[in-house]
Amino acid sequence: MPILGYKPQPPSDVWGVDLATGDSMYVAWNEPTSDGGEPITKYILEWDADSAFMQASSTYGSKILELVPEVQVIEVSFQSDQGRGGHWSMELGGKVSSWLRWDASSIDVQLEVEHITGAYRRAVDAVEVVRN
């Protein structure tokens, strides 16, 4: 249970700040090293052209970015039961998994997704794989 009033640390290593257009930007960061004892569910992105960085500034802006789980669906199908077999791989974020058997277990797929996304470094399960 978190201690009341204990805030998460701010994100680290902010990079990629790029004003793509007059009304859009690209920003990336690493997760905070401490979440304050609770999962982080949203970030507040704030910006200001004024060095005083005050909400009352005419150039101040902010946006709440809520974290929404991403769902990926992988379907393997065959026209007949005869000759089923083969291997497949997946690519996420420019990283490619190892080859997996056509009938890979859900835990094997989960481990590969965690490996190529870096999710294995998190304390909680960030990936869930379900087979139907």
CB atoms inside a 10 Å sphere around CB 109: 19
d(CA 100, CA 107): 12
79 and 117 share a domain?
Answer: yes
58 and 86 share a domain?
Answer: no
In tens, the pLDDT along 43-64 reads 888 888 888 888 888 888 888 8
Q: Which pLDDT score is estimated for 99? A: 94
Domain boundary among the residues 25, 47, 66 is at 66
High-pLDDT (> 90) share of the chain, %: 5
The CB-side HSE value for 28 (13 A sphere, CA atoms) comes to 2
Going 58 to 53 to 13 to 125, the CA torsion angle's sign is negative
